[in-house]
Amino acid sequence: MSARSLNLVQLIGNLTRDPELRYTPKGAAVCDFGVATNRSWVTAEGGAQEESEFHNVVAWGKLAELCSQLLRKGRKVYIQGRLRTRSWEDASGQKHWKTEIVADEMIILDSKRVEDYGGETPSVKPSEPSPSEEIGDITTSEDITSDQVPF
């Protein structure tokens, strides 16, 4: 029996761009968007320091469609999911990697347009598990250079 492990990500942050909804050739909905998180601390010299991280998020199925409908750039959200790093080769043979969070749950946290949801902030969980199909059929305009890969 193999040892147990845990791959769980929880983020609270703001969308950095509007969600992009696409469908795979087999008809599965997939939605990509970005979330920014901030971290603050006091330096040894007593000065305030702040740092932002930018995360790529992907949602599948019904959750993908709901994210596309409900989320917009700037919205504050809670995202729960798992980390996944995928790789592919471009037409020139250059290998690329992308680390992203595969969302299992999304909760809208800000009060923008709450009245549109009957006064309640929506919480969304997918009704089905994320498909295990390869996402190599999905193309992205984002190019990653070897300088951006941390190893």
The CATH number for 135's domain is 2.40.50.140
57: closest CA among 37, 30, 35?
A: 35
Structure-block tokens of residue 47? 């000065």
pLDDT reported for residue 123 = 57
Torsion of CA 86, 31, 121, 81, to 10 degrees: -10
Domain contains 65: yes
Whether the predicted pLDDT of 52 surpasses 50: yes
pTM of the shown model: 0.70
Structural domain harbouring 86 = 9-148
Domain count, the chain: 1
pLDDT tens per residue across span 90-147: 999 999 999 999 999 999 998 765 445 444 555 555 545 555 444 444 444 454 555 5
Domain contains 102: yes
Domain contains 1: no
d(CA 16, CA 142): 15
